Amino acid sequence: MNEGVWRIALPVPRGDLYDYLPVPGTSAPRPGCRIEVPFGRRQLSGVLIGTAAGSEIPAESLRAASRILDERPLLTPAILKLLRFAAGYYHHPLGQVVATALPKLLRQSRPAQLREVPIWALSATGKATDPDSLKRAPRQAQVLRRLVDAPSGLASHAISTEFDAAATCRTMAARGLLEIASADSPVAVDVAPELNPEQQAAMAAIRAQAGQFASFLLDGVTGSGKTEVYLHLAADCVASGRQCLVLIPEISLTPQMVTRFARRIAGRVVALHSGLSDTDRQNAWLHAAQGTAQVVLGTRSAIFTPLKRPGALIVDEEHDGSYKQQDGMRYSARDLAVRRAQLESIPVLLGSATPALETMHNASRGRYQNLRLTKRIGGVPMPHSRIIDLRGRPVDEGLSLELAAAIDTHLRAQGQIFLFLNRRGFAPTLLCHDCGWTALCPRCDVRLVLHRRQAALRCHHCGHDSRKPARCPDCGSDSFVALGHGTERLEDRIRQRWPEAGCIRVDGDTTRRRGALEKALEEARSGRARILIGTQILAKGHDFPALSLCGVVDADQGLFGADFRAPERLAQIMTQVAGRAGRREQRGEVLIQTHQPEHPLLRTLVRGGYAEFVGAALAERAQTGWPPFSHLALIRAECTVATSALALLQEAAASVPLDTTVEVMGPVPAQFERRAGRYRYQLLLRSPQRPALHSCLNHLRAVLEQSTLARQARWSLDIDPLDLD
């Protein structure tokens, strides 16, 4: 056994590590290189994790690896450690975890070759062209607008996150509108403003820890200059020959962020997002891995992108739910960022106007150094918030008299209004007026949402889509009642009442088509639309200079949520929404409609802002024993036969050792027991001690894997779950 075996991570379902004999006549490359190996009758590409003197597999069953694909490792030692940590922590097979880290093309056996992509900039003709004159070519108009903001040019993948701009750019070059800028020496176009004292203090604290692990929370209201601190930190990295990785939550926010970094950083800025073609993604990834990109911006999965010379990690809007992966390995990119910074010995900066309670708790315990930005830039005062008691008051399609009056006032003052309603469609329930029949999803047992524009009844859980019946299927009556309010219904009423105001609705329905969201946001930003109706899509991170009034149309939705995190989410959304209101000349106003005006957390929020809310909410969590005062794991199981998923979880629950601190809750039916025709159950585990929870999970995993019931029921593990349904 002196030649040893290679231990290779393969992207197969149960796969941990597989042992292979060396490729004949070669010695092992460094860990992190890809190796092609025979697997069954196929050839698979995996990643070498290490070597071992011998194997538990009998020598005669060992096969030899076929070929070495990379001369130099694709994955750095720190990333390999991060992946091993993630596989252990999230109880997920290492082979699959490693595959998540690689862009699609590199999961195959292709060579890891960088392709130079052109950097496009406006030509003289392009600069003289008004984007509005390109009405017939909306994509070209978009490219033109983006490049006006980026004089040193952008690669096509950084131009749009909604369509592949490469072809559009080539067409425009042929028309003489674009030319290729030099790709070698991108220059900074924007000059950094001088930091205000709070920003300076934040930067000084971070600089004091450069070159070593340290975690920081940058806690600053919207518009307090957090992004400016990110830009300074990134510039510091670049100046010292290092790279900076910036995680951002939403694709729709990428364009402005990428432009802002590209204009400021004297170096290559690449963006990793789901709108990229496979080739562009591989290219951006390789620039990061090979050290030729100085700043890497990306969404959740970018946390696994290797950096050759890491300098700092930044997580913007760290509280955002999109950092949690919701299937496969259910990791939190925010939490992994902290672990990664530790492994790379670099600082990590978590920024938010509304940090998660877990993060606030870590900051108050001193695990994160808390950096505060308390003032809005330019002296814009914080908006004034007021609760509107809806009990027993007349409402006009969801609008109270007070809210309607405020809309009038702000319209007269040339303000802009954002009505936040987190429910798309026309009405959440359709009822027969004569017999009480309600429209239910045949596959999920939940109420179908009426979408009146398309005369459709849709299930927001499984996507089931049917026509609204002309008559009640039970009694034949044609008299229906639409109960409750969605954004579509609100829009109808607003357009009737304020026909001149210009109203746009931004939700999952109006932004489905590519480019639609960008267009709507542009409409909103320009102030042409004076009344904005939107779900949380519109509540996040967008900058609307004219916004003066925010109406939270239905706060009860958040207060009555079944999840213990519902109030936290409501507080975050309300604070984010409110943080956009107000200008220097005019103090912003926030009106919150509710049937629960006495709700203690709501009152605390309105009176004392997010910081006081956090204090109260954490006290409540401590009392009830929810995170951050305990750790959770959720085991979900689903099946097409009602009994087997439940029985599987019962078996698991029964096997939890009695002497542990792990509390077992359930199994219970999931909030929507039947979804897409499958029955869903869940088992929640809670423990004040993480190690106890994880050893219990190791035990349960073995039970679940060996159970005969697992053949009929699919199960999955969710560590630190964010959604409990």
The binding site for Zn ion (CB under 5 A) comprises 432, 434-435, 437, 441, 443-444, 459, 461-462, 464, 472, 474-475, 477
Rounded to a whole number of angstroms, the minimum distance from the CB of residue 223 to ligand ADP is: 5
Q: Say how many Å lie between the first and final Cα of the chain, rounded.
A: 51
Q: Which is nearer to Zn ion, 347 or 428 (CB)?
A: 428
Rounded Cα–Cα distance for residues 531 and 90 (Å): 44
Rounded to a whole number of angstroms, the minimum distance from the CB of residue 590 to ligand ADP is: 17
> Which pair of structure tokens corresponds to residue 240?
């010292």
DSSP 81-95: HHHHHHHHHTT--HH
Find which of Zn ion, ligand ADP, none residue 488 binds, CB within 5 to 8 Å per kind: none
Rounded Cα–Cα distance for residues 480 and 470 (Å): 9
Find which of Zn ion, ligand ADP, none residue 678 binds, CB within 5 to 8 Å per kind: none
Find which of ligand ADP, Zn ion, none residue 224 binds, CB within 5 to 8 Å per kind: ligand ADP
Residue at token pair 């994880």: 694
| DSSP code, position 448 | P
Rounded to a whole number of angstroms, the minimum distance from the CB of residue 300 to ligand ADP is: 20
Q: Which is nearer to ligand ADP, 119 or 231 (CB)?
A: 231
Closest residue by Cα to residue 223 from 546, 543, 476, 478: 543
Q: Which is nearer to Zn ion, 442 or 691 (CB)?
A: 442
Rounded to a whole number of angstroms, the minimum distance from the CB of residue 193 to ligand ADP is: 3
Contact in structure between 237 and 368 (CB atoms under 8 Å): no
Contact in structure between 225 and 192 (CB atoms under 8 Å): no
Rounded to a whole number of angstroms, the minimum distance from the CB of residue 308 to ligand ADP is: 28
Find which of Zn ion, ligand ADP, none residue 227 binds, CB within 5 to 8 Å per kind: ligand ADP
Rounded to a whole number of angstroms, the minimum distance from the CB of residue 455 to Zn ion is: 18
Rounded to a whole number of angstroms, the minimum distance from the CB of residue 683 to Zn ion is: 23
Question: How many residues are there in the chain?
Answer: 725
Q: Which is nearer to ligand ADP, 226 or 599 (CB)?
A: 226
Q: Which is nearer to Zn ion, 408 or 478 (CB)?
A: 478
Reduced to 3 states (helix: H, G, I; strand: E, B; else coil), residue 670 is: strand
Find which of Zn ion, ligand ADP, none residue 225 binds, CB within 5 to 8 Å per kind: ligand ADP
Partners of 347 in the β-ladder: 214
Q: Which helix (H) or strand (E) holds 374?
A: none
Q: Which is nearer to ligand ADP, 178 or 202 (CB)?
A: 202
Rounded to a whole number of angstroms, the minimum distance from the CB of residue 126 to ligand ADP is: 26
Find which of Zn ion, ligand ADP, none residue 255 binds, CB within 5 to 8 Å per kind: none
Find which of ligand ADP, Zn ion, none residue 228 binds, CB within 5 to 8 Å per kind: ligand ADP
Rounded to a whole number of angstroms, the minimum distance from the CB of residue 594 to ligand ADP is: 27
Residue at token pair 């009695």: 658
- E strands, 455-509, are 456-458, 465-467, 480-483, 503-506
Rounded to a whole number of angstroms, the minimum distance from the CB of residue 254 to ligand ADP is: 15
Q: Which is nearer to ligand ADP, 195 or 616 (CB)?
A: 195
Distance from the Cα of residue 318 to its chain's centroid: 9
Q: Which is nearer to Zn ion, 469 or 628 (CB)?
A: 469
Contact in structure between 293 and 238 (CB atoms under 8 Å): no
Q: Which is nearer to ligand ADP, 319 or 447 (CB)?
A: 319
User: Can you say whether the dihedral through the CA atoms of 20, 24, 29, 35 is positive or negative?
Assistant: negative
Cα angle at 349 between 343 and 352, to 5 degrees?
Answer: 140
Q: Which is nearer to ligand ADP, 372 or 519 (CB)?
A: 372
Rounded to a whole number of angstroms, the minimum distance from the CB of residue 315 to ligand ADP is: 13
Rounded Cα–Cα distance for residues 148 and 146 (Å): 5
Closest residue by Cα to residue 85 from 295, 298, 303: 303
- Contacting residues toward ligand ADP, per CB under 6 A: 193-196, 199, 220, 222-228, 377
Q: Which is nearer to ligand ADP, 62 or 195 (CB)?
A: 195
Find which of ligand ADP, Zn ion, none residue 226 binds, CB within 5 to 8 Å per kind: ligand ADP
Rounded Cα–Cα distance for residues 306 and 293 (Å): 11
Q: Is the peptide bond before 667 cis (omega within 30 degrees of 0)?
A: yes
Find which of Zn ion, ligand ADP, none residue 472 binds, CB within 5 to 8 Å per kind: Zn ion
Find which of ligand ADP, Zn ion, none residue 667 binds, CB within 5 to 8 Å per kind: none
Contact in structure between 456 and 426 (CB atoms under 8 Å): no
Find which of ligand ADP, Zn ion, none residue 196 binds, CB within 5 to 8 Å per kind: ligand ADP
Number of Cβ within a 10 Å radius of residue 436? 11
Rounded Cα–Cα distance for residues 563 and 725 (Å): 8
